[in-house]
């Protein structure tokens, strides 16, 4: 029930295609259900600072079994999870981390994407996850 | 396409002049395009806590190929990049980190300045970057 | 003079082939000349703890422009660089990190491999680097 | 009784001269009596991984008010300070960190040098400290 490297690489390829389609340069990371890195790619010219963000988005999605976009409203000032980012060595709670599910609907990992607007990041991550 | 030590030291000298002109005491850091430190100076009496901030501002500017002042509005509560500072071992996203470009317009590094108001920090960093 | 993602992925593919030939399961990382991650793959069933080691081996090779195997004798008790591993957030100084050079002999990045004996790790990394 | 930036920069210049004389490329750091960074320079082409080592050597020298070369024998297996490097976020205990004293013999800071053999590192650091 854990993502394979072959699946992870296919997902990254699909994400790269979507990134190119959007004319963006992305850092893309896939982690397994233990939030451990399986595969990673930084497209030429993509922001260096987004490598860590892509990894943290993917891990955050697995840690809480939800897309990071679902966390964003909950971490604002006054909201229940304000400043949860201080846990686990650093979370990223804005869009771009997406849960990867198999055909049975079970989570088998997550993808994190960073390098453009959060809307683009999420779109590329979702395209990767949906390609499975 | 990477900044040299000679260039970095000249930029720090220019930043020190601007800092003195503004009657401020600054920490000044220059990093290369890999976000690795090239040169650093803490003016006598400058805040100790600003040494790390200056370094993080310079790194943040390189990591995202933009001045930190451009990030500030995006990281506020409710904005797309809220709490991005938890990535990369700590970002600084307020003004004072400025991209350094060569005459061809290519980024060759960045300067980070900290020790006064963020307006002064940015002005000193910009003066350093513009001196090239 | 910096490695491209296409080159990094081809190097990882070559390393995977060599790993399979040796009947091993490896974590493989490629970094650029700034020691920033470009691509990563964890083969199915490879040690989780080796993901970080592979990354640190690649970074260590770039940080000191030499294979990690060249560092191993220097870091032993009584030798000149004993406990250098405490720098840079953690080095790995045993074999498995190999410098990647272009046809002109210039370093364009490094590969780090971890998941088996250090001899196997080094052999897989060297095969990856040599495939360029 | 604390080193000034002007003194630190003169010390770095002296160290750079000695480094060039030895045909080496060094990372050079000067810290004050609080072990806080005052000035830093990475010579073109010097090892990236030595930037952190130079800083840690300078800090280690101040933290224990002795040259790092004096610590080296004490940190070996079976010796009293074995693995002291785990403290303070990471010490470097091999040669290259040298205490800087004023004409009255009082410590006013330290210099850390890294980028070549530890003998060369120490010689460059000592030349810097002696230039005051």
Ordered DSSP codes for C32-93: -TTS-EEEEEE-TT--THHHHHHHHHHHHHHHTTS-HHHHGGGGSTTSTTTTGGGSTT----
User: At how many degrees (to 10) do helices C5-21 and C118-130 cross?
Assistant: 140
C22-76 tens-digit pLDDT: 999 999 999 999 999 999 999 999 999 999 999 999 999 999 999 999 999 999 9
- Chain A CB contacts of C37 under 8 Å are 40, 42, 51
Tell me what percent of the residues of chain C surpass a pLDDT of 90: 99
C47 vs A50: CA distance, rounded Å: 26
Cα A63-A69-A71 angle, rounded to 5 deg: 55
Mean pLDDT of chain B: 97
Which percentage of chain B shows pLDDT scores above 90? Answer: 99
| CATH H-level, domain B5-130: superfamily | Haem-degrading domain (3.30.450.150)
Minimum CA–CA partner of C66 in chain D:
D47
The mean per-residue pLDDT over the stretch B70-96 comes to: 97
Contact C41 A38 (CB under 8 A): yes
Q: How far is A64 from chain C (nearest CA, A)?
A: 20
Average pLDDT over residues A60-69: 98
Residue contact A5–C34, C-beta within 8 A = no
**How far is the C-alpha of D75 from the C-alpha of C122, rounded, in Å?**
30
Tell me the CB-side half-sphere exposure of residue B23, using CA atoms within 13 A: 0
Domain parsing of chain C, residue ranges: 5-130
* Inter-chain CB proximity C65 and D47 less than 8 Å: yes
Nearest chain B residue to D38 by CA distance is: B42
Chains D and B touching, counted as 3 or more CB pairs less than 8 Å apart: yes
- Mean pLDDT over the full length of chain A: 97
Hey, which residues 18-77 in chain C have their CB within 8 Å of chain A?
A: 34, 36-44, 48, 51
Calculate what percentage of chain C has a pLDDT beyond 70.
Answer: 100
B neighbours by CB contacts (3+ pairs under 8 Å): A, C, D
Cα–Cα dist B20/B116, whole Å: 12
- Close Cβ partners of A98 (under 8 Å, ≥ 6 residues apart): A61, A67, A68, A110, A111, A112, A113, A122, A125, A126, A128, A129
Give dist(CA B91, CA B57) in Å, integer.
7
- Encode pLDDT of B18-76 as tens digits: 999 999 999 999 999 999 999 999 999 999 999 999 999 999 999 999 999 999 999 99
Yes or no, beta carbons of A86 and B86 under 8 Å apart: yes
* Distance of residue B124 Cα from the nearest chain D Cα, in angstroms: 18
Predicted confidence (pLDDT) at residue A24 exceeds the cutoff of 90: yes
Phi, psi (degrees; rounded to nearest 5) at D113: -130, 135
Touching status, chains A and D (3+ beta-carbon pairs under 8 Å)? no
Q: Residue A61 has what pLDDT?
A: 98
Give the residue from chain C lying closest to A43, CA to CA.
Answer: C5
With pLDDT > 70 as the criterion, what percentage of chain B qualifies?
100
Q: Collapse the DSSP code of D120 into the 3-class scheme (helix H, G, I; strand E, B; otherwise coil) and give the result.
A: helix
Report the DSSP beta bridge partners of residue B39: B30, D41
Please give the average per-residue pLDDT across B102-108, as a whole number. 96
Mutate to test the interface with B, among A27, A48, A76, A117 (most CBs of B within 10 A): A48
Q: What is the ipTM of this complex?
A: 0.96
Kindly report, residue by residue over A80-93, the tens digit of the pLDDT: 999 999 999 999 99
Render pLDDT for A36-58 as a digit per residue (tens, 0 to 9).
Answer: 999 999 999 999 999 999 999 99
Q: What angle do CA B60, B65, B70 make, to 5 degrees?
A: 75
Residue from the list D52, D93, D95 with its beta carbon closest to the beta carbon of C83: D93
Total CB pairs under 8 A between chain A and B:
55
**Contact by Cβ (8 Å): D91, D103:** no
Contact between C83 and C75 (Cβ < 8 Å): yes
* Ranges of chain D with pLDDT below 70: none
How large is the average pLDDT for residues C81-108?
97
Has residue C1 got a pLDDT over 90?
A: no
Closest Cα in chain D to B36: D48
């Amino acid at each position: 029930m854990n993502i394979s490297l072959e699946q992870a690489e296919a997902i990254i390829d699909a994400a790269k295609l979507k990134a190119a389609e959007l004319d963006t340069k992305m850092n893309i990371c896939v982690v397994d259900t233990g939030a451990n890195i399986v595969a990673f790619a930084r497209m030429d010219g993509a922001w260096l600072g987004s490598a860590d963000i892509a990894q943290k988005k993917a891990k955050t999605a697995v840690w809480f079994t939800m897309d990071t976009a679902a966390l964003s409203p909950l971490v604002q000032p006054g909201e229940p999870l304000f400043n949860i980012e201080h846990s686990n060595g650093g979370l990223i709670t804005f869009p771009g981390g997406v849960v990867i599910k198999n055909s049975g609907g079970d989570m088998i990992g997550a993808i994190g994407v960073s390098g453009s607007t959060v809307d683009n990041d999420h779109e590329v991550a979702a395209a990767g996850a949906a390609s499975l």
